[in-house]
A = this chain, B = another copy of it.
Amino acid sequence: MIFVLKPGVPQEKIIQFQQMIESWGFKTFLNTGTEHTVVCLIGNTAAIDLDAVVQNNYIVEYGKRVTEPYKAVNRTIHPEDTLVKVNGVTFGEGMFQVIAGPCSVESEEQIIEVARSVKASGATLLRGGAFKPRTSPYAFMGLHEDGLRLLLKAKKETGLPVVTEIMNQTQLSLFEEIDVIQIGARNMQNFDLLRAVGRFNKPVLLKRGLANTLEELLMSAEYILSAGNSQVILCERGIRTFETATRNTLDLSAIPLLKQKSHLPVIVDPSHAAGLRNLVTPLARAAVAAGADGLMIETHNDPSRALCDGAQSLDLEQFSNLMADLKRRIAFEGKKIIYH
């Protein structure tokens, strides 16, 4: 159940209203929009007489029962799109962002070469893994703190905001200068990590787990928003099915469904979904057409020697060709991509 308050209600009246409801035995949290503040109730609200609450509290414009288990991420509560602003770059509301870069940061030369090249081609953010989750304990795990340092160097060189994956909450202090913290597919239900980034004031890129439903993805986003951080970008990256021709099956229905159900921006990672370089372009085009707010594209200066995921990485020229194609498509959709 939610109560949408009238515009301009003073803070102390909101707090009084909240305390009254909590005295009835419910938890509440506030969702503060540009015009309205929404008070969300958590718990079994079946016994509350909604109309009586509206009539007896003049600060309430209207009340609504929210049947979905997610509240803060629900479009019902927050009908307008959330804009996630990252260092001059905006996700949502007619903007389109392209995050490009290698699976992992391998060396200063590599990340700076890639950063310069993808920026020239039109990418608007730089990605690069410093801490890499790997199925095998014997695989390359990334350069760790050195990787973060090199990524920030590439940011300084090019001005591109940077996106990189966190593995657990003890690493948070290392991510102070990172622009977007990525939660990988395997950590989508690492609830302690979700809560920790929810208390950290940074945009979060939340990837869908390999076997997670869209409702579960929204519930994981709810962990972050309900802890106080509403700067969340959702990312579809393929799910596990019986099909073996691709690494995962990209579920593009996720884009319109997530945008109907929630107010958060949605991007797509066709590289991890397909696991095959020659599917990246058609899937990226499809994602743009289906309404995505952005793309994440693995790009490497020398894919055949990449320390991970080379088979799905575009080389710098392929990425440049893809961007030339995507720019026309983004314009066709009436969206904007602003280059640095």
Binding site for B on A (CB under 8 A): 27, 42-43, 69, 71, 133-138, 167-170, 186-187, 189-195, 209-211, 213-216, 219, 222-223, 226-227, 239-246, 249-253, 255-257, 260, 273-274, 278-279, 282-283, 285-291, 329, 332
CB distance from A240 to the nearest CB of B (A): 4
Contact B69 A136 (CB under 8 A): yes
Contact A42 B138 (CB under 8 A): yes
Contact among B27, B170, B239, B245 with A213 in the assembled complex (CB-CB below 8 Å): B245
Bound-state Cα–Cα, A204 to B15, Å: 47
Contact B210 A211 (CB under 8 A): yes
- Pick the most buried of A134, A137, A219: most chain B CB atoms within 10 A of its CB: A137
CB distance from A226 to the nearest CB of B (A): 5
Contact among B71, B242, B291 with A241 in the assembled complex (CB-CB below 8 Å): B242
Chain B residues whose C-beta falls within 8 Å of the C-beta of A42 in the assembled complex: 138
Chain B residues whose C-beta falls within 8 Å of the C-beta of A273 in the assembled complex: 253
Kindly report how many copies of this chain are found in the complex they form together.
4
Chain B residues whose C-beta falls within 8 Å of the C-beta of A291 in the assembled complex: 282, 285
CB distance from A275 to the nearest CB of B (A): 10
Contact B240 A255 (CB under 8 A): no
Contact among B43, B186, B245 with A189 in the assembled complex (CB-CB below 8 Å): B186
Top 5 nearest A-B pairs (CB, nearest first) are: A211-B211, A289-B289, A286-B286, A286-B290, A285-B289
Residue of B nearest to A169 (CB): B168
Chain B residues whose C-beta falls within 8 Å of the C-beta of A244 in the assembled complex: 213, 244
Bound-state Cα–Cα, A236 to B138, Å: 24
Contact among B210, B213, B286, B332 with A252 in the assembled complex (CB-CB below 8 Å): B286
Instruction: Given A186-B190, A219-B136, A243-B213, answer yes or no on A283-B290 (Cβ-Cβ < 8 Å).
Output: yes
Chain B residues whose C-beta falls within 8 Å of the C-beta of A190 in the assembled complex: 168, 186-187, 190
Contact A240 B252 (CB under 8 A): no
Contact among B170, B249, B288, B332 with A251 in the assembled complex (CB-CB below 8 Å): B249
Contact among B187, B191, B223, B255 with A167 in the assembled complex (CB-CB below 8 Å): B191
Contact A243 B256 (CB under 8 A): no
- Pick the most buried of A43, A71, A187, A278: most chain B CB atoms within 10 A of its CB: A187
CB distance from A256 to the nearest CB of B (A): 4
Beyond A135-B219, A137-B227, 13 additional contacts (C-beta under 8 Å) are A134-B191, A137-B194, A137-B226, A211-B211, A213-B243, A214-B245, A241-B251, A252-B252, A256-B282, A256-B283, A285-B289, A289-B329, A329-B332
Contact B242 A246 (CB under 8 A): no
Residue of B nearest to A329 (CB): B289
Residue of B nearest to A141 (CB): B191
Bound-state Cα–Cα, A192 to B168, Å: 7
Contact A137 B252 (CB under 8 A): no
Chain B residues whose C-beta falls within 8 Å of the C-beta of A138 in the assembled complex: 27, 42-43, 69, 71, 226
Contact B260 A278 (CB under 8 A): yes
Residue of B nearest to A219 (CB): B135
Chain B residues whose C-beta falls within 8 Å of the C-beta of A227 in the assembled complex: 137
Bound-state Cα–Cα, A253 to B288, Å: 15
Contact among B189, B256, B290 with A278 in the assembled complex (CB-CB below 8 Å): B256
